[in-house]
Each structure stands twice: as C-alpha cells, then as structure tokens.
Amino acid sequence: MSKNSDGHEGGKVVEGEASATQPQVFIAYQAPEEDEIDLVQLGKILWAGKKIIIGLFFAGLILAIVVALALPRIYRAKVDLFAPTMKDVAPLAIVYPETREDQKVIAEIYTPAPEEIYQRFLANLNRQGLRYRYYKQFVLPVIRAKRQQDDFDEYSHFVNFFDRRITVNDRPRRGEKTVTAATVTLDGTEQSQLAAWLDNYISFIDRYTVRNLVSDVQALLDQRIRQVRTELKSLRQVADKERLDRIVQLQDALVIAKRLGIEKPSGSILSVNPIKRQMQDQEKGRGLVFDNTQEVPLYFRGYTALEGELEQLKRRKDDDAFIYGLRELEGKLAMLKNIQIPIDNLHSTRVDQSARLEDYPVKPRRKLIVALSGILSFFLGAIVVLAKSALKKIT
C-alpha cells in the first residue's frame, strides 16, 4: 500500500490522530429574555388615561358620600351587669327546724349561691322567647305609633331590628371559671328610646328570673308542708287505732275482773315486781305463774277502775294531747305556712349603673366608607386604563 507524505496509508485515517487534529466546535445557546415590567411605560399609560382615573375616582367619592348620608344613624346603649351579692338573694334563704331520729334539732337551709342565680339570669337574658315577649310589651307600641302601617310584620321587625341588635358579652374574666360580669348593648335608630328600652329589658329579665326562683322555693315549701301534714295525719291515725286497741283490752280485762270478783286493785299485788311475785307465789304453793316479760294483768286493777277508764276512752274525741311529738310537728307546719318571701327585695343581677347612650352613632362610619370608596375607585380607574391599553395592543 502506498503512503502519502504524512506517513499514513492511502485511504485510511488513523482515528487517534484524526481526533487530535480536528477542531472542536462549541454552540452557545442564549437564554430567553425574562418578561419585565416597564415601569416607565406603565406610568405613561396611566398618565395618558388620567381623565378616566380621575373621573372614576370622583364618581366613586360622590356615590360613597350619597350612600353614607342616606344610611340611617345607628346608636348604641350599653350597661354593665354583675353577679348579685348575698344581700340580693338573702330572702331566698329558708331556715326551719328539723328533728332527726337521734332527737337532735338541726337547721335545714335552702340557700342558692349568687353565682347560680346569676347563671339563670344570663340564660334568660339570651332567650329569644323572652325577648319577643318584652318586644311586644314595650317596643312594639312605640314602633306602631311611628309607622302606622297595617301590613307591618312585627316578628320580622323584631328579629332584624331588636333581637339581632342585642349583644350579650358574658365571657368569664381572666382567672375565673364562672361568669360574674357581663356587658349588654342595644343598637338602634331610636336614639331617645334605646337607654330606656335596655334598662327595662334588664329589669324585665331580672323580675322573670326572680319569680321563677321564688316559684321553685315555694314548691319546696309546699312539698315540705305536705310532708308534715302527712306525718300529722299518720300520727293521728296510729293514735286512733291504739285507742281502739286499748278499749278492746280494757273490755276483756273488765270481763275477767268481774268474773274473779276483783272490784278494786290490791296494793300488795300492784306494788310487787312481777318476777318477785312469781317466786313468792311458787313458794306459797299457789300455782300462780307469770311470764317474767309481762306486767301485772289489767284485770288486777279491778272492774271499777277499768269501767272508769273505758268510759273515758269512749268519750274522747281526739288523741292529740296524748300523741308524742304532735305539737312539735304542728309548730313546724305553722312556721312553714307563715314563711313569706319578699320578692321586691330579691335581685338576680346587680346593675353597675343605668344604661348609657354613646355620644356618637356607631354606624354608619361615614369617613371610613368615603375613604375606602375613594381607594377602590382609584384602583378601578387604573384597571380600566390598563385593560383599555392591552386591548389596543391586541387589536
């Protein structure tokens, strides 16, 4: 094979030498340019559409001012409430003597805790039914006098303009487990009536709660009165049966005494102990045997005494004077019947001070409405200008 001038065989290229002598080519790829916001161009677009922006801005301000002036003024009355003191609930403390089986006189007391009563007051304060009852009694007549409409929907007005506008903030204070204070607010357009309505509402719920408490206490007293009367009736029934039993015993003893001819009791018989009498009679051989657990039989008293006692028992109209503990029960019954709870001195809550009306309306917040409307109108105008510019570029 022939060799060329470079020393390589003709028609063949040595691979190692060819790779060393051929030049390497590198292709550079240019990264795509990122989209950038041209602030200058944006400013020019907004400046060009300044008339639209200013026009929408002032239009929004004017509309906001008109709406703010058209909205009714909402005022707020506020009152602070606290749990009642022991003085406020003292008339509910019921004390009366009670005798147990061990004959020790104790005092049974019903004293509800002020916090318990206050919880019942707060529960009633949030009851929609009680609110509606108060609304119909105090608020509705004023509303009807102002509106004078035949098709007035009173319940809808109650829900929207009274029930939803009463706020009760009764969260427990820091470090306390139970609620001992609350703030009640009432919002409305009737500036001259709000404070009076709120005060009357608190008093209405207070009176309702107190009446329920007194009703509960009175129910306990009535139950105790019925129990004492039942005890008295039972004692009299038992005493009547015992008197009838005594009559039967005397009648039997009278028959035996007459048959034995015992007219009057013998002093020696009545004075001797039954056990000792039994021993003496056995020694004398009389054969008289007494049960050592019994007393001297009734017929030994003689039929004269038996007839007298029997006649007196039949004439007796009642046994009250002979019933042990009867007068004590009658005293308890009289005391329970004479207990009177002064409802006017009872309170289920304590009002810090009368409801106060805030000086300025809480709604509408006109300055805020105008400010937010101006800001939104400005941004709306800018969006309109930018959208208009974008549509021109597309077309």
Residue 137 Ramachandran class (φ > 0 left, ψ -120 to 50 alpha, else beta)? alpha
In sequence order, the 6+-apart residues with CB closer than 8 A to the CB of 4 are: 10
Instruction: Look up the domain containing 38 and give its range.
Output: 34-71+371-394
* 61 domain-assigned: yes
* 307 domain-assigned: no
Instruction: Specify whether 203 is located in the same domain as 350.
Output: yes
Give the per-residue pLDDT at 179.
Answer: 76
Instruction: Specify whether 49 is located in the same domain as 85.
Output: no
* 169 domain-assigned: yes
Helix (H) or strand (E) holding 116: helix 114-125
Q: Which residues pair with 56 in a beta bridge?
A: none
Instruction: Specify whether 51 is located in the same domain as 110.
Output: no
Instruction: Specify whether 103 is located in the same domain as 213.
Output: yes
Instruction: Specify whether 350 is located in the same domain as 204.
Output: yes
Instruction: Specify whether 154 is located in the same domain as 89.
Output: yes
Token couple for 307: 């007839």
How does DSSP assign 32-63, residue by residue?
Answer: PPPP---HHHHHHHHHHTHHHHHHHHHHHHHH
How does DSSP assign 240-268, residue by residue?
Answer: HHHHHHHHHHHHHHHHHHHHHT--S--HH
CA distance 162 to 358: 18
What tens digit of pLDDT does each residue of 63-121 get? Answer: 888 887 777 888 899 999 999 988 888 888 776 656 555 545 455 556 678 888 999 99
Q: What is the CATH number of the domain that holds 82?
A: 3.30.1890.10
Instruction: Please tell me the pTM assigned to this model.
Output: 0.65
Instruction: Specify whether 108 is located in the same domain as 239.
Output: yes
Give the per-residue pLDDT at 37.
Answer: 57
* 86 domain-assigned: yes
Domain count, the chain: 2
What tens digit of pLDDT does each residue of 142-187 get? Answer: 888 877 666 668 888 899 889 999 999 887 766 666 778 899 999 9
Instruction: Specify whether 63 is located in the same domain as 131.
Output: no
* 91 domain-assigned: yes
- Burial of 66 by CB count in 10 Å (0-12 exposed, 13-18 middle, 19+ buried)? exposed
Instruction: Specify whether 39 is located in the same domain as 156.
Output: no
* 51 domain-assigned: yes
- Are 109 and 94 in contact by the 8 Å Cβ rule? The answer is yes
Instruction: Specify whether 189 is located in the same domain as 203.
Output: yes
Identify which of 192, 244, 189, 147 has the alpha carbon closest to the alpha carbon of residue 361: 189
* 188 domain-assigned: yes
Give the per-residue pLDDT at 272.
Answer: 46
Token couple for 367: 């300055």
- Are 380 and 57 in contact by the 8 Å Cβ rule? The answer is no
Instruction: Specify whether 150 is located in the same domain as 209.
Output: yes
* 165 domain-assigned: yes
Low-confidence ranges of the chain (pLDDT < 70): 1-37, 95-111, 148-152, 173-177, 266-295, 395
Identify which of 207, 209, 187, 208 has the alpha carbon closest to the alpha carbon of residue 198: 187
Instruction: Specify whether 164 is located in the same domain as 81.
Output: yes
Give the per-residue pLDDT at 149.
Answer: 61
CA distance 351 to 253: 77
- Are 110 and 91 in contact by the 8 Å Cβ rule? The answer is no
